A and B are shown apart, each in its own frame.
Chain A
Amino acid sequence: MSTNNSHKSQNSHDHDKDSDSHVYEEAHKCYQCGKCFAGCPMSDVMDISPTHLMRLVHLNEIKEAMSYNTIWVCAACESCMTRCPQQVPIVEIMDLLRQKAFKKIQNGESDGEESIKNVVLAHKLFLENVKFFGRVFEPALAGMYNLQSLDWFKDVEKGPSMFFKGKLPIIPHRIKGIKSFKKIFDNCKRKHENENEHEHKHEHEHE
């Protein structure tokens, strides 16, 4: 990572560069045809289109790209990537932007825009749920989401009939290997923290 950065230290946007830069460079293939935008099911609720987002990544304006709701309201349907005439890995690029933005929100470095707060919350609660049980326990996930998003009555009217239809399990299943399973989450977290420190150190050096 460090060699990559120092190599490009002449770049004025150097602070946005990181180990993921080779994936971002794929955006250079984009010739702005707009096909990704045309087939995107979420395009009408996005701040900026996927096409515009690729342009920002091309210009290495990573921080700006991360600031729009586009990366979070993306439904990950992968239509854009499938239809791209240049085979730009749009979803992979967006995944990197999301992962980076998520890390910043988790570390309290960024608040995240109001409209995407609940999307981020849903992902966070989903993974916490999985970490605890080893598998998703849907009733707990829906309950925690309603509680924490302050949307207490979301889909509540469906609860009773879903319960009687046997769609809501009552007793959660916890996997046997939960101890080592949880470790995977902790190890990932530790690895990210190390990377973070490394990045910060690097930014300071360049300042």
Chain B
Amino acid sequence: MKSYHYFPGCSLEGMAKEFDQTTREIFTTLGASLKEIEDWSCCGATSAHFTDRLLSYALPARNLNITKKCGGNELAVSCAACFARLKVTSYNLQKDAKLRGEVAEVMEVEEKELNSLSDVVPRHILEILTKDFSVEDIKSKVIRDLSGLKIAPYYGCLLVRPPQILEFDDPENPMIMDNIIKTVGASVVDFPFKTECCGASLTLSKADIVANLTKKIITEARDAGADLIVVACPLCQTNLDMRQLDLQSDNLIDFEIPVIYFTQLMGLAFGIDEKKLGFNRNMIAVLPTIKEKLAAAVVTKVATVATAATSTEREGE
């Protein structure tokens, strides 16, 4: 059985609890286990690297160090922001001996403890699902037909940039999430705003600017014909979902589009109990859209089959 050390991150304890729940559910379905690392702490996110260089490395390093002490050499991460910070820290600590010394000093640990941190590789769960599991592994668990759903895959910034450090996927046109969505049977629309920024790091302090960026992304998704936007980052999800309420009340948009995590979509395909998928936590309702689109797809399919049957009958006559 595959087993991974797991770092949920702060958002997945609060706003994005459903991302955590569904991540665990789909790993269980796939027969893999996630072991949450003991007493993990915040990675510092944008605020740390904006204001304090040493802190921005020391905070993620603490979590890498915990993983190391648990005997782990990989750390599975769901949150795109945490993934980026952990990866940047691991990269720079490995490269820069002087930095390593300074970080060890503020962490009050022996420098040699940090030397071995390069053995711990932070991995985003999208990468794990793509590389450690075969398409067949995932396909064999799909029991619900999602072919009626059209999805705009939104990656945002922190999964793909900076590409030379994260080594995740193509920074302009990533495909990892597209492929997972197709594997579980939904269809993907051509979405040119895959990696545009939603401005989530300024969501507290510059809400008006952020609302504008959000508007561009969701409008593009709607124009591309998407029924849902699928994301892999708790900041993007909260932002794209919640800011639609502001945009609606300011009469800046006259539509809505649900925003869900790719793990929720996978859970839906795997036939996991809807209560466990946490769709009720979205600000923009999800289930009505899904039910409507899937029912419509069934109707179309039945109609096609019926037409085909009638035409065969006629041919027979």
A79 within 8 A of B: yes
B31 touches A (CB below 8 Å): no
Task: Note all chain A residues with C-beta closer than 8 A to B54.
Answer: 188, 191
Say whether A98 contacts B50, CB under 8 Å: yes
Q: Given A45-B209, A188-B52, verify A126-B47 contact (CB < 8 Å).
A: yes
Q: Is A59's CB within 8 Å of the partner chain B?
A: no
Residues of A within 8 A of B280 (CB): 165
A99→B162 contact, CB < 8 A: no
C-alpha spacing A173/B39, complex, angstroms: 10
Q: Which of B14, B202, B205, B213 contacts A136 (CB 8 A)?
A: B14
Least Cβ–Cβ distance between B63 and chain A, in angstroms:
11
Q: Is the CB of B197 within 8 A of A99?
A: no
Identify the interface centre among A41, A165, A188: most chain B CB within 10 Å of its CB.
A188
Residues of A within 8 A of B47 (CB): 122-123, 126-127, 130
> Is A85 an interface residue when CB atoms closer than 8 A count as contact?
no
Name the prevailing secondary structure of the B interface residues: helix
Q: Hey, what's the 0/1 contact readout for A166-190 against B, CB within 8 Å counting as 1?
A: 1111000101110011011101100
A73 within 8 A of B: yes
Please, which residues of chain B bring their CB within 8 A of the CB of A78? 157, 161-162
Contact with B along A67-96 (1 / 0, CB 8 A): 000000101111101100000000100011
Candidate in B10, B48, B108, B157 with the most chain A CB atoms within 10 angstroms: B10
CA distance A173 to B199 in the complex (A): 27
Interface size on B (CB < 8 Å)? 55
Bound Cα distance A101, B206 (Å) = 19
Total A-B pairs, Cβ < 8 A: 160
Query: Which A residues touch B50, using CB under 8 A?
Result: 76, 95, 98-99, 102, 123
B134 within 8 A of A: no
Q: How far is the CA of A75 from the CA of B14 in the complex (A)?
A: 22
In B30-63, which residues have CB < 8 Å from any A CB? 39-42, 44-55, 58-59, 62
Main secondary structure of the interface of A (DSSP, over half): helix
Q: Residues of A contacting B204 with CB < 8 Å?
A: 118, 122, 141-142, 145
B272 CB within 8 Å of chain A:
no
Chain B residue at smallest Cβ distance from A20: B53
Question: Which chain B residues border A15 with CB–CB below 8 Å?
Answer: none
Decide if A184 touches B59 in the complex (CB within 8 Å): yes
Query: Are B205 and A118 neighbours in the complex by a CB distance under 8 Å?
Result: yes
The digit string for B252-264, where 1 denotes a CB below 8 A from any CB of A, is: 0000000000000
Known: A41-B197, A191-B102. 13 other contacts (CB 8 A): A41-B213, A73-B202, A122-B205, A127-B52, A130-B41, A135-B13, A136-B14, A154-B207, A158-B242, A167-B14, A187-B107, A188-B106, A191-B106
- B-side residues, CB < 8 A to A, are 10-11, 13-15, 17, 39-42, 44-55, 58-59, 62, 102, 105-108, 157, 160-163, 171, 195-197, 199-202, 204-207, 209, 213, 242, 245, 280-283
Give residues in A with beta carbon < 8 Å to B: 41-42, 45, 73, 75-79, 81-82, 91, 95-96, 98-99, 102, 118-119, 121-124, 126-127, 130, 134-138, 141-142, 145, 149, 154-155, 158, 161-162, 165-169, 173, 175-177, 180-181, 183-185, 187-188, 191-192
